[in-house]
Structure 1
Amino acid sequence: MKAPLLVYETANVHGGDPDSLIALVDALGKQTYARQAIKFHPISAETLSLPDFSYFGTYQKLEIPAARWADIIDRAKAAIGAVWLEGADLSCIRVLSENLDKVDGIKLQSSILENHEVLTALAALDLSDKTLTLNIAGYEVGRISEAVRRFRVLRPGRIALQVGFQAYPTAVEDALLNKIPVLRAAFPDLDIALADHVDANDPFARRLPLIAAALGCTIIEKHVCIDRATAPLDGSAALEPAEVAELGRDLTLMARSFDDRFIAAAEAAYLEKTVQRPIVRSGLAKGQLVAHEDLLYRRTDRPGLTMAEIEGLQRSFHILARPLAAKAPVVREDFRGAHIAAVVAGRMKSTRLPKKATLAVHGVPSVERTLENCLRFPYVRTVVLATSTTDEDSVLEKHTLGGRVKFWKGEPEDVIKRYLGACDAYDIDVVIRATADCLTMSPEITKILLEEHFASGADFTRVRAEAPGSAPQIFNVEALRRIDRLSGGAVYSEYMNQYVENNPEHFKIHWVDLPADLVRTNYRLTLDYPEDLKMYEALYAELERRNQVADLRNVIGVLDSRPEIAALNGGISQIYLQDPDLIAKLKIATRFPQA
């Protein structure tokens, strides 16, 4: 922020003695403030008022011979650097015209703004390099706008609107600094000035200009004198040279306290030194994500990431590359890019719909439809078809879409161990759990779940409600290892999510609410019964007729518009959601003994 221009208002403090005025100029010439000017009032009683005016005699005493003004202005220009004149009457404008090249600014009181004589005299002068300050004391905003329009015609270098008036002295409550933001908003292209006449014996007389400058005033006009005690006139609000120096110093410091920077280097260093950094609460394993509940916050001299930086890394799909000890800060080197894969569990064994994995659904084996759909999942590097080591499942290797899908044979009954075998074989960190009988699992839902999973720092993420078969589940491979270790062998591993959901003290679980247009809990999108096969046959035939891919929104569109297709398997429900005996058995069997 640039320090404001400080205009020394001499007014009538000289009492009509030009030598007194020169002495004041010399005294102010010793000031060191960087942006300063001095203002004079070269008035004439005859052009300022009629003889019947009560102050006419006083004005006569204040007149300084016209011949002296040139010398005074020259001396002030040399000593202070900038000279302003009050445009109080035609005498002032005459002195202005005679010294135009030496004068930097003109100030007009609000009582002069409708003086056509003064306006006409000013119009004859080139003001293109002058500042024209219009005092607007007593003016409402609409009247100010009219005055600005009137004086723009003079084409001054710049126009400033000045608040404040002289009341010998002016009461603090009448300063009305609240006008400053109003004027800045109403006239954003104009400078705002302050004419301050608070009692100079009050210390606030040197504080009020600071407030005005902080509010946006770029010009501060302040009465000055050599000695208030001996000033014949206008001394009540006038600062003495030592006080002027103090004000100048404070205005300089005030300007320095504002800056174009939003953050100072020292401020940033302070935060860096004192910030309470995320510290690992009780240890984290390789392959985990970091959540808020994993952390404490402490000051430390060891380098470490902020929570925002940790979250930024995880939102870009990074995972812990190494274990972290308790009370350790988290650093960038603790992370690496995660290998995200869709692992599709599938077997030929099926009692309700034999060999369903290779059954044709509208001309394409069902497992291939599932795998093609999984290849559309975002952020996924690898898709793996994970089957068992039994001979009958070997045929599935022929359905890996020409090698675009990886193949893995593992545990026949323990699905978790089978998943872990596939993950170890292909160095996978985060698994999108899918099954070969969910042909239309949604890439859009998968995208939402993956982003939520990494952002939350979860071990496991799933939707709260879905069309059965439309949404996958997201596991960190490290969480699958924990299930295997803590369970001592997951007997019901095909229900692997139950081992997480029934042991929330051991896992960070993140539930996601989907957008309403992706949720249809009354539609069944899984292949397990002959009725499901009929539904899928009709669904894919209709999608083909519409020339649409099997995107979930398209699928929902078909089933919404063709309820007879949805009705083909509408009476079938998920057994593990409806069988009370199985639900009770799973709740007990999937709890860890150590819990």
Structure 2
Amino acid sequence: MDCMVKKKIKIIAEVGNSHEGNLITAKKITEFVSNTGANAIKFQKFFADELVQKDHEKYDLFKSLEMSNSEWKELISYAKSTKLEIFTDVFGIKSAKEISKLPINGYKIHSSDLNNPHLLDFFSYSKKPILVSIAGSKLNELEHALRILQKEKKEIILMYGFQGYPTKISDLNLENIIEIKKRFPYTIGISDHVSGNSEMASIVPLLGISLGARVVEKHITLDRAKKGIDYQSSMEPKEFKNLVSLIRSTEISLPKTGFELKSNEIKYRLDHKKNAIAKKTISSGTILTKNLFEYKRTKVKNESIPYFEYEGQKIIKTLQKGSCLTNSYLKSHKIAAVIACRVDSGRLFGKPLQPIGKYCILELLLKQLEKSILIDDIILAISHNDGNEVFVNFAKKNNLKFIQGDDRDVLDRLIKGAKFVNVDTILRITSENPYIYWEGIDSLIKKHLDSNSDLTTFSDLPLGTSMEIIKLKALETSHESGTRKHRSELCTLYINENPKKFKILRIKPEKELCKPEIRLTVDTPEDLLVAKIIYESLNKKNDPIKIKKIIKFLEENSSISNINSDIPLRYKKY
């Protein structure tokens, strides 16, 4: 936030009408406020004639509180000299025009004017920060007002709390602050109006801050005993100064961003967290389980590795009995092949389950993925639409992990699959590819990790034989920032369209493999026919067939490759 919220909680002393229309009193209150540590002071600018009708019971009172333009000019000038930021409540167009001529920092729209289209329209063209009181307002009123106010880009702060002279604790409903934060992309403030002489007068703002408020507005008066205007919810200067001190102490405890451990908490973690200690010597290559370890605090303060991070991983070097498991015994990244599956297709129904020889396409694909020694897990990301139970049954029959999710949001299914098996990197391969460059998987993974790329893939391989190695975080960013098309089966489209946001590495394989004109995917009946011919001709030992061998076969038998060579691409290749 530019003016209102930078690093500190913004504290605003609300003078309101506690000056009772007297310039000298107003300046005296301003002087006291400047010594409390508050960031800003707020006054109320109005004319009785635009605030209430003449027969209103408080018309004469409001009329007596009016100050002249010259008095306002003197007051604002004095407040400026104290280095306080200055805000004013404005209750009508005439007031708005007058006060806008003076060097104030921002305005406040009282909740009573949230349905006043004239005042809202006037402030919609202002570029100064605007506090918006939402007291006693319905959500649709607030939404409509905000639409008007956003004509010009400006900082908007939603102020929660109403004046009950004083407001009862039971009427605060502070958890509404959380709901407001969820609904609206603006800074939230609290203006509670509880009894000024109660302990809760200092506690409630702190509670509001803990719930997400970043602006605190509090009434101030010189002497509550005199029972001036709004005295019920006002603090005296000493009390206000103490509140400022409490808020400054509280804001130190607020995290900057995210769930981050402070240095002292990290030290506590190292001192107190128990570590995984080998019950017996564990040989290199052993798949780790929690039963291989006991847990104890250690003299050497190692970072504790949660069991769910090491369980199922292969240890990369021997760990002696009684020794502590550390990251040096594990790969630095976990990688899973996440395969999106669904039966629907405009060209060929149930492509992954189409038979080739004695296997279906998905089975052939899995056999090739299992050749990798760097893939930690394989998981199917299955559409939850009717008919896809066949993939659930396939997964159960083959002891495969799986998740189910939105049919069209393929990207979300990939993300959920990765999180289900707790990996930070995925290998993405489409489920209708019976022949992939499996012999290049591990080299691609190594290059991806060594380069710390967001997306790594081969270029110029035959269509349907390549794969993508992708950081989970990059996929999450794509889902958050992209549109519907980016969440479809074109899962890396957003990444490819935004090369300045992501680090993309394209590896060119050896020359003999650079044959992008060859189709080895299965998207049509013609593709399936070619795939079956290849299998029948080259599958001699029931082992995965190398791509180089397939390319050589098709180049020597052009009549076979011509079967599907004229099928157009459905999407742009990168």
- Name the TM-score, length of structure 1 as normaliser: 0.52
Q: Summarize the Cα distance change of 1:148–1:76 in structure 2 as closer, same or farther, 3 Å threshold.
A: same
Matched, 1:260 2:257: yes
Question: More displaced, 218-227 or 307-316?
Answer: 307-316
Q: Distance in 2 between matches of 1:185 and 1:315?
A: 39
Q: Distance in 2 between matches of 1:95 and 1:228?
A: 31
Q: Distance in 1 between matches of 2:303 and 2:312?
A: 12
Post-superposition offset of 1:288:
8.8
Q: Distance in 2 between matches of 1:165 and 1:334?
A: 59
* Contact 2:109–2:132 (CA under 8 A) maintained in structure 1: yes
Q: Summarize the Cα distance change of 1:310–1:58 in structure 2 as closer, same or farther, 3 Å threshold.
A: closer
AA aligned to 2:18 is V
AA aligned to 1:171 is K
Match of 1:4 in 2: 9
Q: Summarize the Cα distance change of 1:314–1:217 in structure 2 as closer, same or farther, 3 Å threshold.
A: closer
Post-superposition offset of 1:377:
5.9
Q: Distance in 2 between matches of 1:333 and 1:158?
A: 49
Matched, 1:244 2:245: no
Post-superposition offset of 1:285:
7.1
Matched, 1:301 2:302: no
* Contact 1:44–1:63 (CA under 8 A) maintained in structure 2: yes
Match of 1:96 in 2: 99
Matched, 1:275 2:267: no
Aligned length: 348
Matched, 1:84 2:126: no
Q: Summarize the Cα distance change of 1:172–1:287 in structure 2 as closer, same or farther, 3 Å threshold.
A: closer
Match of 2:25 in 1: 20
Q: Distance in 1 between matches of 2:246 and 2:116?
A: 37
Q: Distance in 2 between matches of 1:178 and 1:334?
A: 46
- 1:551 maps to which of 519, 523, 542: 542
Post-superposition offset of 1:183:
2.4
* Contact 2:271–2:301 (CA under 8 A) maintained in structure 1: no
Q: Summarize the Cα distance change of 1:8–1:377 in structure 2 as closer, same or farther, 3 Å threshold.
A: closer
Question: More displaced, 257-266 or 50-59?
Answer: 257-266
Structure 1 spans left out of the alignment, 5+ residues? 337-372, 381-444, 449-454, 456-541, 555-595
Structure 2 spans left out of the alignment, 5+ residues? 1-5, 332-366, 375-397, 402-420, 422-532, 546-574
Match of 2:459 in 1: none
Post-superposition offset of 1:150:
2.5
Residue deviations 1:441-489, cap 9 Å, x none?
xxxx9x99xxxxxx9xxxxxxxxxxxxxxxxxxxxxxxxxxxxxxxxxx
Q: Summarize the Cα distance change of 1:252–1:303 in structure 2 as closer, same or farther, 3 Å threshold.
A: closer
* Contact 1:163–1:180 (CA under 8 A) maintained in structure 2: yes
- 1:292 maps to which of 279, 290, 293: 290
SS class of match (2:31): helix
* Contact 2:27–2:75 (CA under 8 A) maintained in structure 1: yes
AA aligned to 1:63 is E
Match of 2:313 in 1: 315
Residue deviations 1:278-314, cap 9 Å, x none?
2344x43766956533432222213557455997598
Residue deviations 1:491-531, cap 9 Å, x none?
xxxxxxxxxxxxxxxxxxxxxxxxxxxxxxxxxxxxxxxxx
Q: Distance in 1 between matches of 2:16 and 2:194?
A: 15
Matched, 1:179 2:182: no
Residue deviations 1:535-566, cap 9 Å, x none?
xxxxxxx9974532543799xxxxxxxxxxxx
Q: Summarize the Cα distance change of 1:103–1:273 in structure 2 as closer, same or farther, 3 Å threshold.
A: same
Q: Distance in 2 between matches of 1:310 and 1:118?
A: 58
Match of 2:58 in 1: 55
- Name the TM-score, length of structure 2 as normaliser: 0.53
Q: 1:69-218 counterparts in 2 under 5 A? A: 69-99=72-102, 102-116=103-117, 118-119=119-120, 122=123, 127-128=126-127, 130-153=128-151, 155=152, 157-188=154-185, 190-218=186-214
Residue deviations 1:38-81, cap 9 Å, x none?
11113232332222110112112222233111111111122142
Across the aligned residues of Structure 1 and Structure 2, the Cα RMSD in angstroms comes to 3.8
* Contact 1:4–1:219 (CA under 8 A) maintained in structure 2: yes
SS class of match (1:249): helix
* Contact 2:285–2:317 (CA under 8 A) maintained in structure 1: yes
Post-superposition offset of 1:168:
0.7
Q: Distance in 2 between matches of 1:543 and 1:43?
A: 86
AA aligned to 1:547 is L
* Contact 1:7–1:219 (CA under 8 A) maintained in structure 2: yes
Post-superposition offset of 1:9:
0.8
Q: Distance in 2 between matches of 1:85 and 1:149?
A: 22
AA aligned to 1:169 is P
Post-superposition offset of 1:90:
4.2
Question: More displaced, 113-122 or 4-13?
Answer: 113-122
Q: Distance in 2 between matches of 1:131 and 1:333?
A: 52
Q: Summarize the Cα distance change of 1:147–1:330 in structure 2 as closer, same or farther, 3 Å threshold.
A: closer
Question: More displaced, 177-186 or 190-199?
Answer: 177-186
Question: More displaced, 84-93 or 236-245?
Answer: 84-93
Percent of aligned pairs sharing the same letter: 21
Post-superposition offset of 1:331:
5.9
